[in-house]
Structure 1
């Protein structure tokens, strides 16, 4: 049963990392290259869609890692699992403190109501997001190592 939990948790976190990596290095670059207001509208739609899905995914991932750490506390790799959980906690805190406030503003922006500094706010969100991606990639790597 523990093996199934470990694999399920690793896959869940890995998929989350893949989505966030894709946002950082694929989707936002595509949005930034679109003509006119299309990029800003795409980002706003992404903020609404992923803003609803990702909190559930982050918390589910954190809970699964915590269950793995408790269930496997006497097994090798528990320290790695706990460290991965700590990194996921850091990513959640980063999200709530740094990224969500910008996301909540940007999801309602249209070309008619966006603030004059919207590009600077998106650039700030991107920088924070790169750091968050690095944190969750590290957590995922630790889970993979703990799994093997």
Structure 2
């Protein structure tokens, strides 16, 4: 049962990392290259779509990792899993404090109602997102190392 938990947790976190990496380094570049207002509308739609899904994914990843850490607290790789849990907590706190407020504004914007500094706000979101991606990649790496 513990082996299944380890594999499922690693896969769930790994897929989350892949999605967030894709947002940071692929989707945002595609959206930013679209003509006129299409990119901003795409960012808003992405904010609505992923904004509805990602809280469950982040919290689910954290819960699965915490269960794994608790189950293996006396094993040799418990430190790796515990460190991964700590990093996932950082990613959730970052999301709540830094990224979600910007996303909540962005997902309501249209070309008619967006603020004058909308590009600066999206750039700030991207900078925070790059850091969050690095944090969850580190957490995934620790989980993968513990699994191996």
Same-fold call, TM > 0.5?
Answer: yes
Structure 2: how far apart are the matches of 1:143 and 1:66? 11
* Map of 1:121 onto structure 2: 121
Post-superposition offset of 1:76: 1.9
Structure 1: how far apart are the matches of 2:85 and 2:53? 20
Give deviations 1:84-129, integer Å, cap 9, x for gaps.
0000000000000000000000000000000000000000000000
Structure 1: how far apart are the matches of 2:48 and 2:11? 25
Structure 2: state its 5+ residue gaps.
Answer: none
- TM (norm. structure 1) is 0.99
* Map of 1:68 onto structure 2: 68
* Map of 1:4 onto structure 2: 4
Structure 1: how far apart are the matches of 2:2 and 2:74? 12
* Map of 1:56 onto structure 2: 56
Structure 2: how far apart are the matches of 1:60 and 1:40? 29
* Map of 1:79 onto structure 2: 79
Post-superposition offset of 1:133: 0.1
1:26 aligns with 2:26: yes
- TM (norm. structure 2) is 0.99
* Map of 1:16 onto structure 2: 16
Q: CA RMSD in A?
A: 0.4
Structure 2: how far apart are the matches of 1:9 and 1:76? 18
Structure 1: how far apart are the matches of 2:16 and 2:141? 13
Aligned residues: 148
Structure 1: state its 5+ residue gaps.
Answer: none
